[in-house]
Amino acid sequence: MGTPWKTSVRNTKTLTVFNGITTGHWSNIFTIALAAFNEFAKPTGIKMVKAGNESSANIVMSLADGTAKFEFLNKHYENSFSGTALHGLTKTLSIDGEIQKAFVFLPERPTVTDFDNKGNMFEKLASPNVMKVIAVHELIHACGLDEMRDHGGDGIFYYPLAYQNGKVYVPERGKNPALMPSVRPDGIITGKIKELW
């Protein structure tokens, strides 16, 4: 099971998110990802809104390539992180079993393998739709679902997702085969979120 946010945040049912991505390939994804998360999370009553500044934000979203670095309560943290992978990294920091702050890292240059009309393989930057799925997946982690233990469902929170024809999908046999996006409703995951809030 995941980790609940501190009581003062749970009482508001709102998480504030600072946009640390202002340029580059990801620059338009922040607003799209928040809107997609809010639509996905409607059954939980929880929403995410843009924060005015980094220090007061509940969640800080930024890019990383090689190393994800962050600081909380004067302590520095570093994690290895691929800048080309099709997944992000979310770190939640807790005191007495309650999340105090979360850091979401997205790959600076998410790269996919594709084929031209002659069957030649090549690499290219992921589409905005793929990037949206990566970002929303990480925002679900940031609202309290733990990094590996809580993956599941038949949609955006399944791990690992696969890539095909410019979109991502759930590859496991018996799971939802529809390509994403859109970010589909997933009662298993929204149920887990509700239990934390």
Predicted confidence (pLDDT) per residue in 140-195, tens digit: 999 999 766 778 888 888 888 888 777 888 888 778 888 888 888 899 999 999 99
The dihedral sign for the CA sequence 183, 185, 187, 190: positive
Q: Which residues contact 178 (CB under 8 A, 6 or more apart)?
A: 169, 184
Residue with tokens 């929170």: 157
Q: How many CA atoms lie within 13 A of 10 on its CB side?
A: 14
Of the listed ranges 96-100, 135-139, 180-184, the least confidently predicted one is: 180-184
Q: Which residues pair with 163 in a beta bridge?
A: 168
Distance CA 98, CA 53 (A): 22
For the whole model, what pTM was predicted? 0.92
Domains, the chain: 7-196 (3.40.390.10)
| pLDDT tens figures, 17-41 | 999 998 888 989 999 999 999 999 9
